[in-house]
A and B are shown apart, each in its own frame.
Chain A
Amino acid sequence: MKPIDLQMEGTRQGAMEVARNRMIIVMALFAVGFLTLSVKLISIGVFQDPGGYVFQADIPKDPLLMARADIVDRNGVVLATNLKTPSLAANPHGLETPPEELASRITLILPGLDYDEILKKLTSKRRHIWIKRTLTPKQMYEINRIGDPGLVFSDAEKRIYPHGRLVSHVLGSVDIDNKSNSGVEAYFNERLVDPLRSEETLVLSIDIKLQHILNQELTAYMDKFSSSGAAGVVLDAKTGEILALSSLPDFDPNETSGPQTANQMNRVLNGVYELGSGFKTFTIASGLENKVVKLSGGYDASKPVRVGGYTIHDDHAKNRWLNVPEIFVYSSNIGTLKMAQDIGVERQKEFFESLGLFRKTDVEVFEKGQPLLPYQWGPTELATTAYGHGIAVTPLHLANGVAAMVNGGRLNPATLIRKDVTQDGGVTSVSLDGLEEKQATQVISKNTSEIMRNLLHLVVEYGTGRSAKVDGYLIGGKTGTAIKAADKNDGFRGYKKSVISSFVSTFPINDPQYVVFAMLDEPNGIKETYNMVSGGWTAAPLVGDIIRRIGPLMGIEPVKKDKIEYEELMLVSGTKE
């Protein structure tokens, strides 16, 4: 920059000189400043990489963090969810309204509370005191309208079960601090509280519609026979998925806190019972599979048998020689135990073990019943287990075993999680909530399974299960009436007078889709059933009513009745009733 050309005289010249020097300094500073700016601008404009465009969609969403993930049914209906619920607390030192007035206004908004109690809380010496947990949004709005700075809200989460009691035994419940107590909630606790999977729902195999039907029919029949309890389960015969599971009496998971009550006992998964004649399905399948008897072969059931000091009778005694279909259809204890004696202890045990009757089921809850087995396998035990006494298993064991008997002989471990079938390049893979499914095992041949289907159908057409008939559907099933074993409180050993009546059924019999099991605990005879309490009188019509409702709902088409297999074996004996 060209220096400013000023010529002055004398002392003035000196002053000008100073001013000029100062100005040069100032200008130099400015120049440096502008230079820096230009360099910076150029570097931003030319050298700095703009970094590409960032689209909103690429930015990861803020996770909606909840303390527990949701649980939904197989069609996505919410069964359990966590909602933010405000809780009301007070700081008595920060109140601006008189406590009396405040207390009365709060009682108007929150009707469940007591005026004196609130007043006591509002006048206490503490700095923070809870007034009420879990307010509705409307109540929160009303409280906010009071506008007192001493009233404070804090967010808490509450587990909500919109269906209340309906799915209680499957879901289990959580306590006030969202800690799980039982059911699926407890089994999948780690996965449900995992913050990374907070938004992934846990999809159960339950179908809420079937669950409702099962629950409603069980309630109706439990009342009808004034029984102490009832339980039922609907299984997908081909995959082992539990579509509905109900145990009565039940509980409301929204209101549980504190210790477990008797109502929380799950009769299907946890209760072990001697289930009676349903077991004949297994014995006969074992007999046919091991080829100890032909279908047209049979045993003499003309008189009671003495085994190990006990005399064993038939409940529907025919007092003559019976062939295999007749033994099954008339539910002959004598015929079945004679067959079991031919099968022998080793093969009988082996077969029961392959059906998983000697261990807990694989279902996804912690509270699973351990089967009660005979201490030793002598001739008596062989005989009684043949018709379902002296061995106690959960109803799910029986239902799952029967599913294997009718679906072509494959035992699929029962599950409460929906099986997701994905096809990737021709490879079909099945996953349970991201985990590998447990492998199914072949327990009987396809041929034997076919015979068992027809035998079960005969029971409903001609035998003890006739009251389960539904027009238009071909149903197969087996009744069971078991005398209850005495427990500790009864003060005696052996068997009581009360019974457990059950019916295990499958339909449609030409291609079994569903296995329906229902049982009534200690039913009482009524006039309509001539005071009978056996499975054929109580549980069979119950299962019939369930099938009548779930069949059309699941789109099972009615089938025209054609030839009933092995009917001729029944008619030869001339005992068609």
Chain B
Amino acid sequence: MIKFFAALAILTVMISMASVYNLKQETYDLEETKRTISAQILKDRQAIKVLKAEMAYLSRPERLERLSRRHLVLDATQNEQLVSTLGELSIRENVMVANLPVDNFQMLLPRQKPNPVQIAKRNAKIRPSPNVRMASFDSVENQTKVEKINKADQRSLYERILAKIGN
């Protein structure tokens, strides 16, 4: 029994010693890795500094201008190319502009189409007074069509678009 305990004690001690040694070694290795990484970071930052300087050198306005003249067909912006409002872009009068709810991006609304009801009314024949009875050549089909148009959505196109995009 005593031998068993002695052996167990010795074994435990040896295992503990081995693990402590191992731990220590691992710590050393990590320290070493850390040192290398730190040195590498310092080296990289040095390199980044050089690259930034090179970037500034290569993007000198004078050089960019020269390259742009040679390789691009673009010219410098003129002030008439800038507009402050969307309305100024259009040559139409009374432009309608809607702001998209997401990011307030301005959107030019299309001009309202001529109202079919009004056109129908305008084109309709002058109706005689109800007292006078006249023979009508209008087919039943045609009569219902005019009624349908009358019942169609009375809201303007602008209102309908606003309702659709939700503001």
Contacts and interface: CB of A to CB of B under 8 A. Distances in A.
A83 interface: yes
Contacts of A162: 53-54, 56-57, 60
Contact of A558 (B50, B65, B79): B79
B17 A558 contact: no
Nearest to B34: A56
B119 interface: no
A557 B82 contact: yes
B20 interface: yes
A70 B50 CA distance: 12
Interface residues of B, number: 35
Contacts of B124: none
B83 A557 contact: yes
B76 A552 contact: yes
B56 A163 contact: yes
A81 B49 contact: yes
A211 B53 CA distance: 18
B33 to A, nearest CB: 11
Chain A CB within 10 Å, residue with most, of B16, B42, B56, B57: B56
Contact of A78 (B9, B10, B56): B56
A552 B53 contact: no
B82 A555 contact: yes
Determine chain B's interface SS by DSSP, over half rule: helix
A44 B20 CA distance: 10
A118 to B, nearest CB: 28
Contact of B79 (A79, A164, A552): A552
Given A61-B41, A83-B50, A552 B81 contact: yes
A41 B16 contact: yes
A64 to B, nearest CB: 5
A62 B36 CA distance: 12
A292 interface: no
Interface string A160-196: 1011101000000000000000000000000000000
Given A34-B10, A162-B54, A164-B60, 15 more contacts: A38-B13, A41-B20, A62-B42, A64-B42, A70-B49, A77-B56, A77-B59, A162-B57, A162-B60, A212-B61, A551-B79, A552-B81, A553-B77, A557-B83, A557-B84
23 contacts: A37-B16, A44-B20, A62-B38, A62-B41, A62-B42, A64-B46, A70-B49, A77-B59, A81-B53, A81-B56, A83-B49, A160-B53, A162-B57, A166-B62, A211-B61, A212-B60, A212-B65, A213-B61, A472-B79, A473-B79, A548-B79, A552-B78, A558-B79
By Cβ-Cβ distance, the 9 closest A-B pairs, closest first, are A212-B61, A162-B56, A78-B56, A162-B57, A552-B77, A557-B84, A472-B79, A558-B79, A81-B53
Interface of A: 2, 34, 37-38, 41, 44, 56, 61-62, 64, 70, 77-79, 81, 83-84, 160, 162-164, 166, 208-209, 211-213, 216, 470-473, 548-549, 551-553, 555-558
